Structure 1
Amino acid sequence: MEVERILKALEEGKIDEAKTLMAKEVDMLSDEELKEVLEIAEKKAKEYEDLELYKIVVYYYAEFFGIDKLAEFEELARRKEFEGLMELADLYSLLGFPEKALEIYREILEKETDPEKLGEAYFGIATIHEELQEYDKALEVIKKAIESLEKSSNREKLLRAKIYEGYLTFEAGDKVKAKEKLAKLLPEVPEGELKSQVHLAFEEIFEDEENYEAAMQECLYALLEAKGTDFFEVAFDGLIDLIWQLMLEDDFEEIYNSMPMFKAAIPEFEDFFEGVRRIALYKDGKVGREEVSEIITKVKDERLVSILEFLGEAEL
C-alpha cells in the first residue's frame, strides 16, 4: 500500500522520497490514512527542520481538513531567514493569499544584496503576478530576475528564468516573440528538466493555436526529456490536460492517432497509452466497451487506472 511506503520513507528519514510519494499519492489516500501521514510528516519536518516538507504538511492540513497551522510554520520559517522566507511566500501563494506572498517577497528584496537570492525573489514575484493574470507585470519582473541572475554564477536558475520569460511573453499575447525566445533557448539548455520545460511551453502555445498535432509532439518531447527526473510528473500532467481538452472538443482522432508514438517511445506505459487510445476510439464509435475494459484491467498502477476512468468519465 502507498501509505505504508510513505510512512516507511518518513520513519527511515528518506525525506525527499517521502515528499515525492506524498505529492504523487495524496489523492489516493483516505482521510484516515492522510491524517496518519501528516502527523508523522509534521514530526519529521520539525525534527529535520525541513521547511519544504513542513510546507507540504501545512498546505495539506488546510486543503483537506481546514486545519490552520500557518502561524507555527511562519515561526520556524522566519528563523531560517532567506530560505524560510521563500518557503513562507510560496505557502501563502499556495493557500490563496497572493498579496501576503508579495509582502514576503518584498521583505526579501529589502534585506538581500546577493544577486542569486534577489533573482529567486523576483522570480517568485513574477509567478504571483502570473497567477493574478497580470502578465505584463509578471514579464517586467522576470526581466529583473534575469538581470540579477546574470550577475550570479548559477546558470541553471538563469536559464529557468529565461524559459519562464518566454512563456510569459506568450501569456502576454506575443506568440511570435515567445516562440523566438524559446527556440533560442533550445540549444542552450541542457538535456533533462530544463529542456522539458521549454517543450511544455511550446505545447501550451500550440494548444492555444489549436495546433493539436504539434502540441502532442511537444508533450512527447517533454516526457522524454523529463524521464528520470521529478519533473516527469509535471510533464505527464501536461499531456493528460491536453488529452482532456481534446476529449471535451470531441477531437478523438487526434488522440488515438497520437498514442502509438507514445507507446513506442515510453514502452513502460504502453498499456496506459493503449487504454487512452481505446477510450478515444470508443468515444468515436469505432470499438466496443469490452475492448476498453480489456486493456484497463492490464494497467496495474491505481493512479493510472483512475486517470483512465476519469478520461472515460466513469461510463466504461
Structure 2
Amino acid sequence: MEEILKAIEEKDCKKVADLLYHRVDELGDEELKDVLEKAEKLALECGDFELYKLTVYYFHELLGVDKLSEFEKLVEEEDTFEIKFELADLYYLIGELEKSFDLHRSLLEEETARGNKENVAKVYYSMALIHEELQEYEKAIELMEKAKDIYKELGKEEEILRIDIHRAYVVFEAGETYEAKAMLAGLLPLAEDKKDLLVEIHLSFEEIFEEDENYEAALQECLYALVNARGSDYEDVAFGSLMDILWQLMLEDDFETVYLHMDMFARALPELSDFFEAVKAIALYKDGKIEGEEASKALEKVKDQRLLDLLEFLGEAEL
C-alpha cells in the first residue's frame, strides 16, 4: 500500500494505475477504499481518464460502490474522445456490452468524420475485444484487420505487431490451435528487440500449452516471459501466469512437475532463487520426499511478505 500512496503523492498517474492493476488484491477493504479515493481525486486533478476509469471499476467490482453516473455526468461535461473512449471501455469491463457497443459506434462515426485515423483504429480494436468476449471470433478478427490496415497506413509497426499477437490468440480461441502456434512463431523474429511484445507472445504460447495440459511446455513459456519481463510493467503479469500454473499443478497433485522445474527458474532469476527453492521444497514435502522441518527451513529464507503470502497460497501454511 505504501508504494501506491507514494505514487499518488508524486502524482505519477501511470504508476498508480499500474500498481492498482497488479496489487489491488493485496489491499483490505478499508485500505482499498482509502487508496481508491485518493487515486480518484488525483485522476480528476490530472485529467487522467484511464486512471479514473480504473478507480470507478474497482469501486464497482470490489467495494460495491456505484460511481457510474458520476462518470457519465463527467463525460457530458468534458465531451472528448479520450473520456468517452474510457467510458465505453468501462461499460465493457462491467458487462454492459450493449452500452459499450453503442458508445463505440458513436465514437467510430465521429472520429471517421473528423479524419482521426488513429482514434478510428483504437475504436475498431476495442470493438473487436467485445466480439471476442461474446465468442464472435470471426467478427473480432475482421475488426482487428480493419484496425491493422489503418496502423499500416500510419506506419505504426508496434501496434500492428500487438494486434497480430492478439489475433493469433483469438484464432486459438476459435479452435485453430496449430495455426495459432504458427502465427505466434512467425511473430517471434519480428519482436526480438521488443521485450514487452515478446512477453505477450510467450504468455500466449503459455495459455495454449496450459489449455492442452502440457504443463512442462507452459512452464517453459512462463520462464521465457519472466526473463523478458524483468524490470518492466509486464513482470507481475508473467509472474501471475506462473503462479496460476503452479496452483493448478498443486491441485492435481502433480508435485513432481513442480519440483523438477524450479531449479531452472532459480538459476534464470537468481534474485528470486530463495522463493523458487521454497516452492520446490513445498512440492517435495507434499510428495513425501522430504520432512516438514526441511521444507520449513527453505521457507524461512524467504523474507518478502508478498512472496510468503504466495507460498501460503500454494498450501503450506501449516509448515
2:154 matched to 1:148? Answer: no
Question: Match for residue 29 of structure 1?
Answer: 27
Alpha-carbon spacing, 1:46–1:217, altered in 2? closer, same or farther (3 Å): same
Alpha-carbon spacing, 1:92–1:310, altered in 2? closer, same or farther (3 Å): same
SS in structure 1 opposite 2:290?
coil
SS in structure 1 opposite 2:146?
helix
2:8 matched to 1:10? Answer: yes
Kindly state the Cα deviation for residue 100 of structure 1 after the two structures are TM-superposed: 2.0
Per mean C-alpha deviation after superposition, the further-off stretch among 259-268 and 34-43 is 34-43
Instruction: Summarize deviations over 1:226-252 as a string: whole Å, max 9, x none.
Output: 112111111111111111222222222
Q: How far apart in 2 are the matches of 1:183 and 1:74?
A: 43
Q: How far apart in 2 are the matches of 1:105 and 1:296?
A: 50
Question: Match for residue 194 of structure 1?
Answer: 197
2:59 matched to 1:61? Answer: yes
Q: How far apart in 1 are the matches of 2:139 and 2:315?
A: 40
Q: How far apart in 2 are the matches of 1:103 and 1:257?
A: 51
The residue type paired with residue 42 of structure 1 is E
- 1:1-316 mapped onto 2 (5 Å cutoff): 2=1, 4-77=2-75, 79=78, 81-113=80-112, 114-189=116-191, 190-312=193-315, 314-316=317-319
Q: How far apart in 1 are the matches of 2:90 and 2:198?
A: 27
Kindly state the Cα deviation for residue 76 of structure 1 after the two structures are TM-superposed: 3.1
The two structures have a TM-score, normalised by structure 1, of 0.92
> How many pairs are equivalent?
314
Kindly state the Cα deviation for residue 314 of structure 1 after the two structures are TM-superposed: 4.3
SS in structure 1 opposite 2:190?
coil
Aligned residues: percent identity? 54
Q: How far apart in 2 are the matches of 1:257 and 1:74?
A: 53
Alpha-carbon spacing, 1:313–1:148, altered in 2? closer, same or farther (3 Å): farther
Q: How far apart in 1 are the matches of 2:310 and 2:135?
A: 29
Indicate if the aligned counterparts of 1:77 and 1:87 stay in contact, CA closer than 8 A: no
Kindly state the Cα deviation for residue 160 of structure 1 after the two structures are TM-superposed: 0.4
Indicate if the aligned counterparts of 1:51 and 1:77 stay in contact, CA closer than 8 A: no
Kindly state the Cα deviation for residue 256 of structure 1 after the two structures are TM-superposed: 1.0
Alpha-carbon spacing, 1:102–1:297, altered in 2? closer, same or farther (3 Å): farther
The two structures have a TM-score, normalised by structure 2, of 0.91
Indicate if the aligned counterparts of 2:22 and 2:237 stay in contact, CA closer than 8 A: no
Q: How far apart in 1 are the matches of 2:149 and 2:318?
A: 52
The residue type paired with residue 18 of structure 1 is V
Alpha-carbon spacing, 1:44–1:282, altered in 2? closer, same or farther (3 Å): same
* Alignment RMSD (CA, Å): 1.9
Q: How far apart in 2 are the matches of 1:105 and 1:288?
A: 59
Per mean C-alpha deviation after superposition, the further-off stretch among 152-161 and 18-27 is 18-27
Instruction: Summarize deviations over 1:189-244 as a string: whole Å, max 9, x none.
Output: 13311011011111111222222221111111111111121111111111111112
Q: How far apart in 2 are the matches of 1:285 and 1:132?
A: 45
Q: How far apart in 1 are the matches of 2:17 and 2:85?
A: 18
Kindly state the Cα deviation for residue 20 of structure 1 after the two structures are TM-superposed: 2.6
Kindly state the Cα deviation for residue 118 of structure 1 after the two structures are TM-superposed: 2.0
Q: Can you give the 5+ residue segments of structure 1 that lack an aligned partner in the other structure?
A: none
